[in-house]
Amino acid sequence: MTASRCLRLPPLAHLGLVAAFAGSALTACGRSAPPPGAAPPHALISSIRGEPRTFNRYVGRDAVVDTFSHLTQATLVRINRRTQELEPRLAESWTMSPDGLACTVRLRSGVTFSDGAPFTSADVLFAFRAVYDGRTDSSLGASMRVGGKPLQITAPDATTVVIRFPSPFGPGARLLDNLPILPRHKLEAALDAGTLHEAWGTSTPPSEIAGLGPFVLKQYQRGQRLIFERNPRFWRTGEGGRRLPLLDRLTLEIVPDQNSELLGLQSGQIDFTQSEVRPEDYATLKRAADAGRLTLLDLGVGLDPDSFWLNLRPDRPGAAKKPWLGRVELRRAISRAVDRRAFAETVFLGAAVPVYGPVTPGNPRWYAPDIPRFDYDVAEARRLLAGLGLSDRDRDGVLEDRSGARAGFTLLTQKGNSALERGAAFVAEELKKVGLAVEVAPLEVGALIDRIERGDYEAVYYRFLTTDLDPALNLDLWVSSGDAHVWNPNQAAPATDWEREVDRLMERQVRALDQAERKATFDQVQKIVAEQLPIIQFAAPRIYVATSTRVLNATPALLRPAILWNAEALAVSDGARR
Amino acid sequence: MLRYLARRLMAAVVLVALVSSGALLLTRLAPGDFASELFGAGATRESIAQDRARYGLDKPIATQYLAWVVHAVRLDFGTSLLYRRPVGELIRQRAANTAVLALAALFVATLLGLPAGIVSGSRSGVVPHVIRGTSVVLLSLPSLITSLVLVLIAARTRWLPIGGMQSAAAWQAGLTARAADVAWHLPLPAVALALPLAAMIERLQSQSMAETVTMPFALSALARGVSRRRVVWRDALRPSLVPVASIYGFVIGSLLSGSFVVEVVTSWPGLGRLMYEALGARDLYLVAGCAAAGSAFLAAGSLLSDLALAWVDPRLRRAP
């Protein structure tokens, strides 16, 4: 065995500086080489864009810790990201009471954590206690409440848990997909001491981190990669009793630059990425896929269209000077003024479909195709603007209001996100054609969020990431008291009649146990929102992911992590092992 | 000499204090903060407020700055909000990686730039024109483009790894094999960093050499029948090194403190990338720590530059 084979170094390894080390490297590598005749491991390499900030999913909120949690932890139930059906995980079965207020969960028996400690109902109790503890300030705390109230959990025995909802809850056990069960025996002391927030930081030795997921963290090479190995105690088996996970090793390479990530994928140094394919990269990857070097998977229409909204808070800056900014006619005029097909062509290079509401065709279970559409009609847009008293009084091509002030606003967007910057510029250009002067101001994400939070803006163009497809689990966007009701958040009482009606319908939707009733109610909500347009969407991108041809059994989904949500089933094609 | 060194050290301390304080205050004063970046739009106000309180971001800026200064004078730059680890520890790790890269880049840049500058400054014909043209192109190209082109070449040819500092398997190998693995990952980022630098050294050295070979001592040597090659390489070389030596220290400092584009593109886990991540997350303590490290490198580089200058020009050693 040579040094280059040992470390997978290509031929140039024998040149220059490397040559000086090669002799001794040969000896050193021999110590860790697999035994003669042993098969090379089933291993895949994915990329992630950032460093982990913590290994504690109860605390961390970013995509990296979420991916880490999918790999190393498990939940009681899982929403199949492809079918949207609920699947048993640590829960062998569950039964909802007829009134929808209680869910009795039967846990799998004989399951152990990766360190050998048994999994029991006490771990489930611990998980709920941890996320509800105020000192933890858990990122999951809000998502594990119904109507702002925590669930009541009891454990009659070691394999049974009874979960009581404060009020009937339509999504029922789907809520449990959010909560990974972390080991009580490792973390209870920190919770009792009020230091769970600091537990499992990135300095924690991997041996201290136990889980119920398909993989265990073997090593974290700071700034470079996370190496996972199969959890030998993983409790799930595949078809025909096949051991899972199918991979021996999974590496997450930290590649901060998306261009380098793409090149790594093309050169075979990375097997798949966590990011979806950018529109501008599609052609390159399609050529590679046609040549058989990559697999390009079309996941269909995405869940997250870019959103445009005007500040509708009563205390917004300049509310008295520009009262027309709060009028629904303006929002309809904006919707009419933007050519959605041209938007899809320009912003997403054709890989997008026009949309008219926050729920896209990518979410077929909840999508309402027959909502009102204020489609492209420049003449109608001008008529609506004239109705607001906006006209071109000085014939300079820009509208003025009744006081003679130029009609326009500043549109904030996120700096450095090319799709958002392109989208905002396109909207500004389209609005210019109907006489609205829109100034685009890209801001760093922290500054943008700060402005949104303080309500210090006129309009924003931004993208929210969907975390769950069920609207009852994204309630904050729809109800007037919600934090994500971005155009006018945290209202003490609904500011408008239509918001009051949406609140009422959403409450009914959340409490209804009949799925057909829930869908019909949510359709009504979507119709109202499409009529009032507090938030305007123009196009939803088509989502593509690319993998190397070595990757088998990938079932990518629109919800993140697109490929690693089902990491235990991933495999490597024969003859292509690393 | 000792007084001179003490004076320079004092100046370095002042520079580091000013730069790190400036970085901390500017990051704190800019709109948004670590909590707003962490939570994103639509987060609950309670969560944001709770995190602000936890990280001390709700305190007045003066209180926050004073608390930081009290710790910083004891070389404790605080705890990174992003990684929840001491800033000093994070910087030590990353600075070592950056130093490896910077020294390799400096070695390559000197190896390419200096001889090229001597040749283009002392000869006429096609070769100097080609060298000059290449330098101008390399100087004009932003580091981002140079890095991406090199990564593209590496990806297409598969001759070199396209990024990172070590292979995944290297951690299981012995020390020597690990060093070999680092050396294998080094050429791409080092060349990306070195090319514009080599071009700058070439331009400076070329101009200086052209001037030196027309100086009386060189002309008289040529008149005495000494060969041009001998005059250039033996007599004119050392005096012509003054401009390059004078910027060499700054180059070292800027390499150590400013290689973040190359580090991001080539996934090199260095100080530049740490600073980039810290700025993105509005981690003010880490930003201040990185700025302090960068300015310390710059000050050290400047000191080295002066010492190098004194070596090539003995008159400077006698200067008050």
Left if phi > 0, otherwise alpha if psi is -120 to 50, otherwise beta: which for A533?
A: left
Give the nearest partner residue to A257 out of B41, B48, B265, using CB atoms.
B265
Separation in Å, CA A152 to CA A122, A166, A182, A488, B182: 14, 8, 18, 32, 54
Backbone φ, ψ for residue B36 (5° rounding): -70, -35
A463 touches A306 (CB < 8 A): yes
Average pLDDT rounded to a whole number, residues A209-215: 97
Q: What angle do CA B42, B53, A478 make, to 5 degrees?
A: 15
Helices (H) and strands (E) in chain A, counts: 15, 23
Give the nearest partner residue to B37 out of A29, A445, A462, using CB atoms.
A445
Sort strands A145-146 and A149-150 into parallel, antiparallel or unpaired.
antiparallel
Residue of A nearest to B52 (CA): A137
Average pLDDT rounded to a whole number, residues A509-529: 96
Give the model's confidence band at A6: pLDDT under 50 very low, under 70 low, under 90 confident, else very high: very low
- Mean pLDDT across chain A: 89
The proportion of chain B whose per-residue pLDDT surpasses 70, expressed as a percent, equals 94
Give the model's confidence band at B163: pLDDT under 50 very low, under 70 low, under 90 confident, else very high: confident
Which residues sit opposite A220 in a β-bridge? A226
| Residues contacting residue B139 through CB under 8 Å, at least 6 positions apart | B196, B199, B200, B203
Buried b (16+ CB within 10 A) or exposed e, A191-219: beeeebbebbbbebebeebbbbbbbbbbb
Taking only the tens place, the pLDDT of each residue in A268-309 is 889 999 888 988 889 889 999 999 989 999 999 999 999 999
Residue of A nearest to B46 (CA): A137
Which residues sit opposite A253 in a β-bridge? A47, A225
ipTM entry: 0.74
Give the model's confidence band at A1: pLDDT under 50 very low, under 70 low, under 90 confident, else very high: very low
What is the reported pLDDT for A101?
A: 94
Which has more confidence, B31 or A369?
A369
What is the reported pLDDT for B272?
A: 87
Chain B: closest CA distance from residue A36 (Å): 17
Taking only the tens place, the pLDDT of each residue in A118-143 is 999 999 999 999 999 988 888 788 88
Q: Is A540 helix (H, G, I), strand (E, B) or coil?
A: strand
Q: Sort out which chain A residues have CB atoms less than 8 A from B166's CB and list them.
A: 221, 224
Residue with tokens 């930290």: A254
Task: List, in sequence order, the alpha helices (H) in A512-567.
Answer: 515-532
Contact A224 B165 (CB under 8 A): yes
Give the model's confidence band at B241: pLDDT under 50 very low, under 70 low, under 90 confident, else very high: confident
Assess whether pLDDT exceeds 70 at residue A5.
no
Chain A: closest CA distance from residue B47 (Å): 7
Separation in Å, CA A509 to CA A177, A293, A349, A521: 20, 47, 37, 6
The proportion of chain A whose per-residue pLDDT surpasses 90, expressed as a percent, equals 70
What is the reported pLDDT for A518?
A: 97
Assess whether pLDDT exceeds 70 at residue A440.
yes
Left if phi > 0, otherwise alpha if psi is -120 to 50, otherwise beta: which for A562?
A: alpha
- Rounded-to-integer distance, Cα A212 and Cα A111, Å: 8
Q: Sort out which chain B residues have CB atoms less than 8 A from A219's CB and list them.
A: 171
The proportion of chain B whose per-residue pLDDT surpasses 90, expressed as a percent, equals 29
What is the reported pLDDT for B300?
A: 84
- Rounded-to-integer distance, Cα A287 and Cα A290, Å: 5
A227 touches chain B (CB under 8 A): yes
- Rounded-to-integer distance, Cα A15 and Cα B302, Å: 34
Residue of A nearest to B162 (CA): A264
Residue of A nearest to B166 (CA): A224
- Rounded-to-integer distance, Cα A390 and Cα A397, Å: 12
Taking only the tens place, the pLDDT of each residue in A32-78 is 334 444 445 799 999 998 889 899 999 887 889 999 999 999 999 99
Taking only the tens place, the pLDDT of each residue in A166-183 is 999 999 999 999 999 999
User: Encoding tokens for residue A391?
Assistant: 């006209």
What is the reported pLDDT for B43?
A: 61
Taking only the tens place, the pLDDT of each residue in A452-496 is 888 899 999 999 888 789 999 989 899 999 888 999 998 999 999
Residues 442-471 of A with CB under 8 A from B: 443-453, 462, 464
- Mean pLDDT across chain B: 85
Chain B: closest CA distance from residue A54 (Å): 7
Which has more confidence, A29 or A277?
A277
Assess whether pLDDT exceeds 90 at residue A246.
yes
Give the nearest partner residue to A17 out of B38, B171, B186, using CB atoms.
B186
Contact A450 B33 (CB under 8 A): yes
Q: Sort out which chain B residues have CB atoms less than 8 A from A21's CB and list them.
A: 176-177, 179-180, 183
Average pLDDT rounded to a whole number, residues B154-161: 85
Taking only the tens place, the pLDDT of each residue in B75-98 is 888 888 888 889 998 899 888 899
Which residues sit opposite A221 in a β-bridge? A225
Helical pair A418-433 and A340-347, crossing angle rounded to 10 deg: 150
B150 touches A263 (CB < 8 A): no
Give the model's confidence band at B258: pLDDT under 50 very low, under 70 low, under 90 confident, else very high: low
Contact B169 A8 (CB under 8 A): yes
- Rounded-to-integer distance, Cα B81 and Cα B97, Å: 22
Give the nearest partner residue to A53 out of B83, B167, B171, using CB atoms.
B83
Assess whether pLDDT exceeds 70 at residue A235.
yes
What is the reported pLDDT for A339?
A: 97
Q: Residue count of chain B, please give it.
A: 320
What is the reported pLDDT for A20?
A: 37
Taking only the tens place, the pLDDT of each residue in B190-210 is 999 999 999 999 999 999 999
Helices (H) and strands (E) in chain B, counts: 16, 0
The sign one gets for the Cα dihedral A564, A566, A567, A573 is negative
Assess whether pLDDT exceeds 80 at residue A16.
no
Q: Sort out which chain B residues have CB atoms less than 8 A from A257's CB and list them.
A: 264-265, 267
Give the model's confidence band at A407: pLDDT under 50 very low, under 70 low, under 90 confident, else very high: very high
The proportion of chain A whose per-residue pLDDT surpasses 70, expressed as a percent, equals 92
Assess whether pLDDT exceeds 90 at residue B4.
no
Give the nearest partner residue to A28 out of B42, B51, B174, using CB atoms.
B174
